[in-house]
Amino acid sequence: MPNDKYTPPYTLTDEIINLIAEISELVGAVTVKSSMESSPRLRRENRIRTIHASLAIENNTLSLDNVTDIINGKRVLGAPGEIREVKNTYEAYNLLLGYDPYSINDMLKAHKVLMTDLTKEAGCFRSGGVGVFAGEQLVHMAPPAELVPKLTAELMSWAKQEKVHPLIKSCVFHYEFEFIHPFADGNGRMGRMWQTLLLYQWKQLFAWLPVETIIKERQQEYYDVLAAADRNSDSGVFIAFLLRAIFDTLKELEETEQGRVQVTEQVEKLMTVLRDGEWSGKELMIHLGLKHRPTFLKNYLQPAIALGLVEMTFPETPNSKKQKYRLVKK
């Protein structure tokens, strides 16, 4: 194989071709209807689900609520390393869309953000050998460290010039990246994140699509298809697995979109303030920069309560001086 023209081996099956057609159609339909475009809250919620799932895959034990609290700046009791993983991953996803998916420099920068204080080799390729283990058993021996820069450069240059559909390209990239295992630690997280970046270049929706949640639910299968692709020297099975996960994530999004209550911008703003806890009516008006109480009641508070999104802390005594409001826990 010539050095500068590495072509990863993969076989396209009928299932893969069909999935590409179905996903493309679904992306179109979901993008048109999606409240994600207009809702920073929804994008944030999905981003937090992505971060939680991607970290849970690598055994971080913090719950979705814990991860949400950490990202919202609240104090959470937990192992400092796990809390650091959340903060780093949040930061890395915040910067992700500004990176060039075909730049090795940008990939190293992203790894530094993701792994600072978690591994000694944050932001640089590994200097030693690395294997992937399932318990005690070695399931994948990565190529020697001295080959990593060359193999990664070849993969990047293939991805940059390759004209195949971005859905395929991003899955092949994810597989080849895991095969190389360029870093001492954080390879799973980086591979999943970089696939998101590649898909974002195709359709922006992917930046907020929590595919990792489904991968987490099917974690054993994720490992099995990676191992099968290794054995076959062909990433076809891995492509099919990831496309099914993407398809199912989009289906789930389409269904929640259908059932979602459409909220106004004002209700959205109120809910953003209430994410930080319980507030009185007066405090809410100050935070929202409102002076006119009837407007606050009519456009903000009453519709939010009517939609079942916000509740009183003392529902029995609506006019209580101690009355506060909070988000309804779903």
Ligand X SMILES: Nc1ncnc2c1ncn2[C@@H]1O[C@H](COP(=O)(O)OP(=O)(O)OP(=O)(O)O)[C@@H](O)[C@H]1O
Judged by beta carbon, residue 78 or residue 186, the one nearer ligand X is 186
* Cβ within 8 Å of residue 322, ≥6 positions away: 313, 314
Smallest gap, in angstroms, from Cβ of residue 53 to ligand X? 11
281 known ligand binder: no
Handedness of CA 190, 195, 200, 201 (dihedral sign): positive
From 140, 181, 287, 292, the catalytic residue: 181
Residue 129 known to bind ligand: no
Quick check: 41 and 272 in contact, CB under 8 A? yes
188 labelled ligand-binding: yes
**Residue among 15, 86, 28, 68 nearest 253 (CA):** 28
Residue 279 forms beta bridges with which residues? 325
Smallest separation (angstroms) from ligand X to the CB of 209: 18
Q: Quote the least distance from Cβ 166 to ligand X, whole Å.
A: 20
Nearer to ligand X, 47 or 189 (CB): 189
CB of 203 to ligand X, least distance (A): 23
Tokens of 76: 């959470």
Distance CA 32, CA 229 (A): 35
Question: CA triplet 207, 115, 104: central angle to 5 degrees?
Answer: 65
Point out which residues bind ligand X (CB under 6 A): 57-58, 132, 139-140, 178-179, 185-189, 191, 223, 226-227, 230
Q: Is residue 44 marked as binding?
A: no
Residue whose beta carbon is closest to ligand X: 188
* 259 annotated ligand-binding residue: no
- Our CB check for ligand X shows the closer of 230 and 268 to be 230
107/263 with CB nearer ligand X: 107
Is 52 among the catalytic positions? no
Q: Which residues are catalytic?
A: 181
Residue list, annotated binding site for ATP: 185-192, 222-223
